[in-house]
Structure 1
């Protein structure tokens, strides 16, 4: 890539820590050393945050990517002008905030699909606010899938040695069990393999979790492991992938945390998220807040690059100036790495 990639960063929910962590990430000069960051959202919200928490920044408000200056200390904000500051309340669910966050997402998708930016990074949204605004999606992943016309996709979580992809995410646990099917497991295994290569991972050994306790224990605790997961593992091996499974999830994640696997396949949302967040989220019991919140969410299978922080809106600390930008910094760095790999792969 002859020039540093342009990375579009969404505002997230304006009532959340989203705008704060976006701005804080851009106070780190190393971000400007590796890319040209561009925030997409309401410029008034970002000016308000700067004043409220005392950041040494000034906003460059723009209406097109071509107007961006990419100057450290003066972040560019592609202004959607869709938040009424008189009505905005930190930590409060509202249709206005949901609509604003949704439109910042669809705008960066539009810019990426048009080739005006090289990758997208999303701040946290509140699903209830988005749905109250009339946009009925389970989360970012589903928005991206629809607006890019993508049918085969999956959520990949990345934090140091832990890389986790999911067979299903935003569905009920009952539905999640029903979605454990051979073809889907093979699909996400391939997406994980491609993701590991894109991230420069040398260890391509993949662990595939069992669904039931002890991976079903030969049918004693359920049949999905023998009837759906094992055949998927056998087919993946036949296709040349270095896979192991079904591995009881408690054992698999213990090994994954040490780097034994390059990446792992989880069968459902919490099976993957809980061990992942145990490694990346650091709670300070004395301060009663997170010291660090690390972890990147990458949507695999899209025609464009999308990374995200892997934490929520943190409404309880919104507007207080104490939110950690660690995950946002990592998400931007991952987007840059993926952008470089995509350019190299297409040359």
Structure 2
């Protein structure tokens, strides 16, 4: 395709078909909240989700339009959900999946959908990728050697350095370390890793129109080490990364005490945030504050990829899969942000 990214469709991978991904996808389309999206996955799974949901009397149950290539999207009837049957998912191969159960077939299908969506983005055929939740155990059962989306997408993009950002309207956090144990994460924190995270964060926000991003870097230890009383990682590892970033003209400050920096960065009409983003050392340091503000508005963004990728801020929710009660709000937020960021990237490229 030669279409600009801002006009190209968004690829929406279906996630684990035994989770709530198919359900929230159908609900997003039924609300008119997924314009310009094409689902990458299995048409039978999406059709089954649509058939099993209850809709208000004034809401039309969406139909499913299977396509086998992106150039067939123009033939999709208005109001139908376009589903591109991902290569590697044989039609009918997922029938009989039990909702809320780990299944190798589900893990393999989720993997196939992500691979196709990412490859389409690398070819410039889609404006970005929005990923519905996957289940790590199902991926493992299918023989997929990656613990999550971030690591898989990094692999598909040739090993480029990436970072996870969780964002909502009030707070953005970027993580130095992600899916490893806390003990392993502490050992993995290095000056180069912190500096790379700051650079990736700075460059991403610049591409999205923030001219001089204000980056707060959180410490690792209580009170950011309290001058070495509670640990020396702040002075030994984090401070040198900050000094180098500042020498490069990046507005990065810290290390700040991690128990207060998120409060200072939170941006509301009553309390303008002191920072545009917080860089956190550990997975839970960075994600708990954003998730506490509400899962319905949180969006996971992978920084450093050559295309936009967002995801809802929740998992497969196996405990409610198949019950028809899942809330699509976070997926809608992920779609909205992906379209916004894709447009911002397009504007930056055209300058």
The structural deviation recorded for 1:103 is 0.6
Separation of aligned partners in 2, 1:202 and 1:342: 14
Structure 1 position 195 matched with structure 2 position 204: yes
SS in 1 for 2:300: strand
Closer/same/farther in 2, CA of residues 208 and 3 from structure 1, 3 Å limit:
closer
Q: Partner of 2:167: helix, strand, or coil?
A: strand
| 1:177-192 correspondence to structure 2 within 5 Å | 177-192=186-201
Counterpart of 1:250 in 2: which secondary structure? coil
Structure 1, unaligned stretches of length 5 or more?
282-292
Deviation at 1:244, TM superposition (A): 1.6
Residue 137 (structure 2) aligns with: 128
Q: Normalising to structure 2: TM-score of the pair?
A: 0.90
TM-score (norm 1): 0.91
1:67 corresponds to which of 67, 72, 76: 72
Aligned twin of 2:157: 148
| Equivalent-residue separation in structure 2 for 1:3 and 1:192 (angstroms) | 22
Alignment match, 2:275:
261
Number of the residue aligned with 2:345: 342
- Which is further off, 9-18 or 78-87? 78-87
1:217 maps to which residue?
226
Q: Does 1:317 align with 2:320?
A: yes
Q: Distance in 2 between matches of 1:257 and 1:2?
A: 31
Aligned with 1:271 (options 277, 281, 285): 285
Q: Kindly indicate whether residue 24 of structure 2 is the aligned counterpart of residue 15 of structure 1.
A: no
1: distance between equivalents of 2:255 and 2:119? 39
**What's the counterpart of residue 39 of structure 1?**
39
**Deviations 1:36-55, CA, capped at 9 Å, x for gaps:** 21000010001111111135
Equivalences, count: 333
Kindly provide the CA deviation profile for residues 232-278 of structure 1, in whole angstroms up to 9, marking residues without a partner as x.
11222221121220001011011122322100100011111111100
The reply on whether 1:242 has 2:255 as its aligned counterpart is: no
Residue number in structure 2 paired with 1:288 = none
Match of 1:54 in 2: 54
Give 5+ residue unaligned stretches, structure 2: 56-60, 268-272
Q: How much has 1:202 moved relative to structure 2?
A: 6.3
